[in-house]
Structure 1
Amino acid sequence: MDDLKIRELVKRLDTASVVEQEAAWTLLRPLGAGVVPFLADAYGSTKKAQGRVALIFHAIRFARDSEAAFELGIRALKDKATLVRYRACGVCAYSLRPDAIPHLEELLEHPDAKTAEDAVAAIDAIKRKNHHYFIDRSHSGTSFWTVNPEDSAV
């Protein structure tokens, strides 16, 4: 698939229609980490919050191996939409990269309490080197976040 076609499909993620997003992602998914730079490029011009959520969501699985995915997550921490910021915190948590912590700390006093809570959970996951804690915020050991098949529940 050429770059123009990839850009067209990524642009189709900028919609409130989950059906349209899924149709586009079905064609993009086989590109693996190769799609991430296109997601990152599209972020600034994606108008709908649902579209930005989709861009960040699809970058999460690559946050450990793709610098572009990690940087997209950092960038999206400042998004105006709560759900985009949540997904961005997820990128940071899944990456387990300590260099995300200063960016997450900027959200600790965010006026949206949910965003501050998400930042706390991401920091906790990174510090404890356990991405599951982004979801299992009480450390119960009963909730797991399987992003990639190799993510074990242990």
Structure 2
Amino acid sequence: MELLRLTSVNPSHILWLEEVVLAAPAYSWLTEGRAPDPADAPEILRVCPPGIGEDDKFVLAVLEGEELLGCVDLVRGYPDEQTAYLGLLLLKESWQGRGIGSELVQRLIEMAANWGCTAMRLGVIETNLPALHFWTRHGFQQVDSKRIAGFSGDTLVMNRAISCP
């Protein structure tokens, strides 16, 4: 499995993200109560947490050979320098349930550890029960809850400690 960093200046990268978003409709239905929209793709590349620039935001295509499996949005140093924030891990539905997500979690934890991070944080919309179970199985624990406009439920903030190499 290869991880390829995507940028907004490459039009084919936006098309790849559109392909992933449209091939995972359950995610949009569970988190926002609506069908996926191709306009969601550029948002993945554009939206950054406060104080985070392009150098610390990693939108990655997940590839197996020429096949696009999914995408990841990982931010270095948010909300603090010791934490990596996982904004999105989305696989096409045809690739879900094959262990790829679990393999990705390990790869992303290694990446964050190599940055010197000691924790990984993410948010799960409470209506997305499959994702909540997935992250809990991978050692993430809820530390907070907040309401974010546009989502069908509260965002459950989850953390997991990671060890540096």
TM-score range, shorter chain: 0.3 to 0.5
Instruction: State TM-score, norm by structure 2.
Output: 0.31
Tell me: higher relative CO, structure 1 or 2? Use CA pairs within 8 A at least 6 residues apart: 2
- More helix as a share of residues: 1
Instruction: State TM-score, norm by structure 1.
Output: 0.33
